[in-house]
Structure formats: structure tokens, C-alpha cells
Amino acid sequence: MATQIPSPPKVGMVSLGCPKALVDSERILTQLRSDGYDLSPDYAGADVVLVNTCGFLDSAKEESLEAIGEAMAENGRVIVTGCMGNEADVITARFPDVLAVTGAHQYVDVVTAVHAAAPAARGEFVDLVPDAGLKLTPRHYSYLKISEGCNHRCSFCIIPSLRGDLISRRPDAILREAEKLVAAGTKEILVISQDTSAYGVDIRHQPREWTAPSGERREVRAHMTDLAEALGQLRTPAGENVWTRLHYVYPYPHVDKVIPLMAEGKITPYLDIPFQHAAPNVLKRMKRPANEAKVLQRVKSWRDICPDLTIRSTFVVGFPGETEEDFQYLLDWIEEAQLDRVGAFRFEPVEGAAANDLDGALPEEVKEERYQRIMEATARISAAKLQAKVGRTLPVIIDEIGEPDEDGDIGATARSQADAPEIDGNVFLRNVSADLQMGDIIDAMVEEADEHDLFGVPV
Ligand code: SF4
């Protein structure tokens, strides 16, 4: 007699926020898939909808509330999780009918809530989770979360109160996850955390055994440099170097040690360092970690060792008490540091942040005017740096391939090692080969540049 496989309940997912939240969504979906759930691409087909929220800024909270409202209107069976889940009262006051609210990293709670809302009859044949888990990013790049939480208490940030103190993962577990991702097609690993340089501090950098791709069994410390070096040894099944990109790095002294790995081509010559400001007065009021006067000098020495190093950063303008001199200091500092990629934010008081009690709040017009000035300055630096790449041949990774135009010419959207997905620029290619695949890494000659992107052709 044929066995009837029960049709599994379907879960819809709306994932908001930063890459860390995206990794949480992937983990939740992986667990649900292994519990016998299917995924629904739309509201209509879902038995229950999960909304993974972001609560970092008030604007992000509002966006999260809007997303919950949309899911309630379109489906009505909604479970809320993520950073904003820590403010359950705000959510239930506005949407009393949500089925459950759980906070960031409460995987067990959110999965339990889904089981209660839409029980899955697990069949013996239902185990369709790929070895590398489920991913919300394209197959060729993956975020790799190495720790949760943060030991710092920057005055504008509420992440430590949402996510707690630093908890680092074991290095062998991280490397095993990276190996699985690479075996499943990942060509680029994006290392994320709240503070990548602090990785392992909480577990005293305890070493764990790991078998390197060469077969050598050795110890890897829970430390950013060891981890970067080990990740740099990963190769795709075809033997290509895997790109390893470090995000959320603070300029602690040991960051100097990863620069030679970049110069030797072992990891991607790219550092995402959220400096947030440069003026000593403002940094002090922000309570930023690892900010010392010599950072500028170190940035220069990093570039001497690794001339192709790309530095990406974010800055907050209009912080309480920021004077015109402080702001000018910041502009001069950025000019001197020649940062490649810059994102800027106008200071926004986040509910619960210590910075809200500081005196010297600035009017919105001043924040806006400074924001425009920093964006102009950084766009000018970026344009000049990109212009200097015209004529060079660079390795690029293919993100998207277009349809042939009327002349049969196929275009593609790619990124160089200087471009992280979603946040940096692109390399737009013309005349690519018809058998090019997403995730291929090829050489391209840069023909033109604008403020943020490059344009080129495969060679
Ligand atoms: S380092 Fe500062 S800004 Fe970053 S998560 Fe920790 S407290 Fe927040």
C-alpha cells in the first residue's frame, strides 16, 4: 500500500535588518525545514508568517511595525521575532492578534511558536535540508556569524541591551560551517559579528583542533587572526581561492596582523571598520572602543603593506555636542585616510540609548547640512579612487547575468574584491560569454568609472 506523505505546513518569512538578522532568519528556516515545514514565497500560501524585525533605530522599528502590519493584513497568522521582539508590549499594543513575539536569538522559542501555530506531521521521508542549511543569500556568497552580542557600551547603541554581552562560537564549529558552505557552492564568505576584532575574548581565545584542507590536523585559536588565516586556506571544489571578507572590525592593535594575509592574497584585501567619528571629543562622548590617536598612521602603514586594501566605514554626523570644528576634523581625517567606501548616518536618538541624555543635541538642519557635506566629500574620494582603476584588470565575482540585447550582447553585474554585496558598488560588465554562471570569478578590464561603480569587459 502506498504511504501518504502528509502535505507539510508552509511558513512565510519577512527578514528585515542587518546581515546578522539575515543569518538568524537562515537558522530559523533551516530548523523549520528539518522539522518538516515548507517555505511559502507569498503571504497567501503561508500557514504562518514569521517577521524577523530590526530594532536598531527608530526608523527601523517603524519599518518593522509596518512589515508586521502588512503581514497581519495579508495573512493574519503572524509570529514576530528579532531585535524588536524585545519590545513585545509595543508590538502587541499595535497588533493584539499576533500569535507570538520572541526576541533576537531565541531560536527555540520562535520554532516552538511555529509548531504551536501550524503543527507539522513529520513524515519519515521528510528531511530535505541541504547540508549547508538554508540560505537567503545567493548560493555563491554567505554570511558567517562568528559571535553574538558585544562587550562595549557605545552611547548611541542599544545592541548590548538587545543581544547581551559577547558570546563567541568555537573556531572549529565556525570552520566546519564555512567548509559546508564552500562545498555547497559558496565562493565568498562574509565574516560578521558585532565586533569581529573581539572574537574569542570571552572564551580566552581557547584553541580547538581543526583539519586543514591540506589534511594537517592542527589547533586554531578563537582569535580573529587565526580564524582569518584558516578561512584563507579554504578552496572551492574546483580549487579556487575562496574570498574571505572581514566586516565590523575595530582597529585593535592585532588587526595589523591580518594585513599581511591580505597582501599575500590569502584573504580579501577589504576591511569594514565602523569608525563612526574621528574627533577625540566626539569619540569620547560616543564611548567608542579601540580609538587611539595613531589610527590614521596605522591606516597608512596598512596601505604600505597592502596597497590594494579597501577600507569601508560608517560615520554618524550630528552627534550631541559635535561642534563645527569636530565635524571639520572628521572631514579632514577622512580626506587624509582616503577611505574607499563610506556610509553616513544623521544621529538619531534611539530609545534607551545613553546618548539621549547627553547635552548639546543639534537641530535637524545642522545634521542634514553635515550629512550632505560628508556625502559630497566621500563621493569625491570614491570617484577619484575608482577612476584610478580604469585600465586595470581585476578579478570579479558574477552576481547576475542579463538577457542578450538586440545585438546579442550579454551584460552582467559583478563585484570586485573592493565591493561587498548590498553595501558597496558593482562592476557592470558588457559582452560576457553566454556560458558565464552566477558565482563565476573571472578577470575583467575596467574601462570606465563613476562615483560608486566600475564598468568593464571580461578579458
Ligand atoms: S561596538 Fe558599540 S556600536 Fe558596535 S555593537 Fe557594540 S556597543 Fe554597539
What would the pLDDT profile of 400-421 be if each residue is shown by its tens digit?
Answer: 999 998 888 999 999 999 999 9
Picking from 154, 176, 198, 397, the residue whose alpha carbon sits closest to that of residue 287 is 154
* CA distances (Å), origin 166, targets 110, 159, 324: 22, 11, 35
Tell me how far apart the alpha carbons of residues 242 and 239 are, in angstroms, rounded to a whole number.
Answer: 9
Is residue 183 a contact partner of residue 238, using CB atoms and an 8 Å limit?
A: no
**pLDDT tens for residues 272-282?**
999 999 999 99
- Which fold is adopted by the domain 141-387? pyruvate-formate lyase- activating enzyme (3.80.30)
Atom 1 in ligand 1: residue holding the nearest Cα: 152
The response to whether residue 157 sits with its C-beta less than 6 Å from ligand 1 reads yes
Centre of ligand 1 to C-alpha 360, Å, is: 22
Single-letter amino acid, residue 371: Y
- Residue 374: exposed, middle, or buried by beta-carbon count in 10 A (0-12, 13-18, 19+)? buried
Question: Per the confidence metrics, is the pTM higher than 0.85?
Answer: no
Atom in ligand 1 nearest the alpha carbon of residue 150: 6
Any ligand 1 atom below 6 A from CB of 53: no
Instruction: Return the pLDDT at 131.
Output: 53
Residue having the nearest C-alpha atom to atom 2 of ligand 1: 154
**Which one of 54, 147, 154 would you pick to mutate in the ligand 1 pocket, going by the greatest count of ligand atoms within 8 A of its CB?**
154
pLDDT beyond 70 at 3: no
Quick one: which atom of ligand 1 is closest to the CA of 157? 8
Ligand 1 pocket check for 160: Cβ under 6 Å:
yes
Residue 311 CA from chain centroid, whole number: 15
C-alpha torsion sign, points 287, 293, 297, 301:
negative
Instruction: State which of 145, 146, 157 you would mutate to test the pocket of ligand 1, scoring each by most atoms of that ligand within 8 A of its C-beta.
Output: 157
What is the spatial distance between Cα 225 and Cα 416, in angstroms, rounded to a whole number? 23
Read off the pLDDT of each residue in 198-213 and give the average, rounded to a whole number. Answer: 95
Mean pLDDT of the chain: 89
Taking domain 10-117, whether its CATH number is 3.90.228.20 is answered by no
Atom of ligand 1 nearest to the CA of 289: 1
Give the rounded distance of the alpha carbon of 416 from its chain centre. 17
Q: What is the pLDDT of residue 61?
A: 86
Cα 18 to averaged position of ligand 1 atoms, centre (Å) = 14
The 10s digit of each residue's pLDDT in 126-154 is: 344 455 566 677 779 999 999 999 999 99
Distances (CA, A) of 190 to 196, 236, 243, 450: 11, 15, 8, 26
Question: What are the backbone dihedrals phi and psi of residue 318, each rounded to the nearest 5 degrees, phi first?
Answer: 80, 25
Residues 35-57, mean pLDDT to the nearest whole number:
85
The reported pLDDT for the residue numbered 422 is: 87
Separation of alpha carbons 150 and 23, rounded Å: 17
Q: Would the CA dihedral through 234, 235, 237, 243 be positive or negative?
A: positive
Residue type at position 131: D
Residue ranges of the domains in the chain? 10-117, 141-387, 393-458
Structure confidence by residue, pLDDT tens digits, 161-180: 888 899 999 999 999 999 99
Residue 361 has a pLDDT of 93
The answer as to CATH 1.10.3720.10 being correct for domain 393-458 is no
At residue 124, does pLDDT exceed 50?
A: no
Position 351 scores a pLDDT of 82
Position 5 pLDDT exceeds 50: no
DSSP 47: S
Which region among 34-43, 56-65, 256-265, 320-329 has the lowest average model confidence (pLDDT)?
A: 34-43
Q: Which atom of ligand 1 is nearest to the CA of 156?
A: 3
Cβ of residue 148 lying under 6 Å from some atom of ligand 1: no
